[in-house]
Structure 1
Amino acid sequence: MIEYLEDVIGSYNSYIDKIESGSLLIAELLREDRTAEAFHIITDFSEGITWLMQAAELLQKNNVHLELEIMKMNEFLEEINGGLEIQDFVLVADLFEYEIAPFFERCTTIEVPQN
């Protein structure tokens, strides 16, 4: 089981490290009116956040300490969906640049437990 947890931690850390730059890319694409590209990455982002929340739950159940505000991530998803529904791409771009990117910049990765 520890090997499985190490794999999940590795994937978790890898994704956490990429979210900030991905968020800034989404903001840039939206501002450049490249919405089709942005929507594709936003879909990947949403799926990744859902996976992060599931991984966090699994890790916490296995006594792996992590600091991830799941409620805040749910709020981000709701705000993104709301902005997309009303086609306010400036709002969504600002959300990714000024809220989501800094949030994930502050997230710490998880130390892999040593055997």
Structure 2
Amino acid sequence: MISVDGRETGMDINQFQNLEEILLQIMGGGELEGRVVTDVFVNNESFSEIYPHQAEDIEIDEIKSVEVKSVPVADMALDITVELNKVVLLMDQGARRVAELFRQADDAEALEVYQDLMDVTRDFLNMIGVLRGESVAKGTAAFDASADEISNLFSEMVEVLENEDWILLADLLEYEFVPAMTRWKTVIAELQESFRENDKE
């Protein structure tokens, strides 16, 4: 039996050679349009690939049932936006910690935490960009203003970092980076609203 979200697909397992063929057929069948796969169960056991195309190595005679579970893109996006608010709080705390370490002249520790902070910030901005691409309300003034602000601030921080002016970097983090990241909450709120609206349609 092959099912998607509890509904039988009518496909016969024996018409395929391996698990990958089944999954490709399901993905191409249109049933998952606007949805994200969250789980795949093979013979009632959770399956996830440990290496690329592992599904190809699972022969059809080993398979009795395949069940695919999914959620609407908007639901998953909404869940992610809730998590992003927590990330903003973590970045706020991280920036304040780096500033404090620089002011205590603990430069090595400060630079290590600063690098982690920049990695988290980059991931955060990438995720916001992806969500904005999925959002109905693509043209938001808050997004453009926040993106410009953080871009200019990054340029300034790189310059200060090169000059090894740790106190100025501490000031930039505490008095400019923290408020700039807090303003992203407006963008997150707009994205949440957009996904909620999309969910109602």
TM-score range, shorter chain: 0.7 to 0.9
2:121 is aligned to 49
Shift of residue 64 of structure 1?
6.0
The sequence identity of aligned pairs, in percent, is: 23
Gaps of 5+ in 1: none
Query: What is residue 34 of structure 1 aligned with on the other side?
Result: 106
Please give the residue correspondences for 1:8-27 in structure 2 after superposition, counting only pairs within 5 Å: 8-27=80-99
Q: What are the superposed Cα offsets for residues 8-43 of structure 1, whole Å, 9 maximum, x if unpaired?
A: 323322111222222111111001011111111111
Q: Which one has a larger percent helix, Structure 1 or Structure 2?
A: 1
Higher strand proportion (structure 1 or 2): 2
Q: 2:164 aligns with which of 87, 94, 98?
A: 87
State the SS of the aligned residue for 1:78. helix
Map 1:52-67 → 2, pairs under 5 A: 52-63=124-135, 67=142
Measured in 1, the distance between the counterparts of 2:83 and 2:108 equals: 27
Report the TM-score when normalising by structure 1.
Answer: 0.82
Aligned residue identity for 1:28: E
Q: Which AA in structure 2 matches 1:84?
A: L
One-letter identity of the residue aligned with 1:104: M
For 1:4, which of 76, 84, 103 is the aligned residue?
76
Higher relative contact order (CA 8 A, sep 6+): 1
Larger radius of gyration: 2
- Relative to the length of structure 2, the TM-score reads 0.50
Task: Decide which of 179, 187, 197 is 1:102's aligned counterpart.
Answer: 179
Q: Secondary structure at the match of 2:121?
A: helix
Contact 2:91/2:120, CA 8 A, preserved across alignment: no
Alpha carbons of 1:76 and 1:2: their partners in 2 closer, same or farther (altered >3 Å)? same
Q: Which runs of no fewer than 5 residues in structure 2 stay unpaired?
A: 1-72
Count of equivalent residues: 115
Distance of 2:88 and 2:147 partners within structure 1: 13
Q: Which moved more, 1:82-91 or 1:100-109?
A: 100-109
CA distance in 2, matches of 1:38, 1:101: 16
Query: In structure 1, what is the Cα distance between the partners aligned to 2:161 and 2:122?
Result: 18
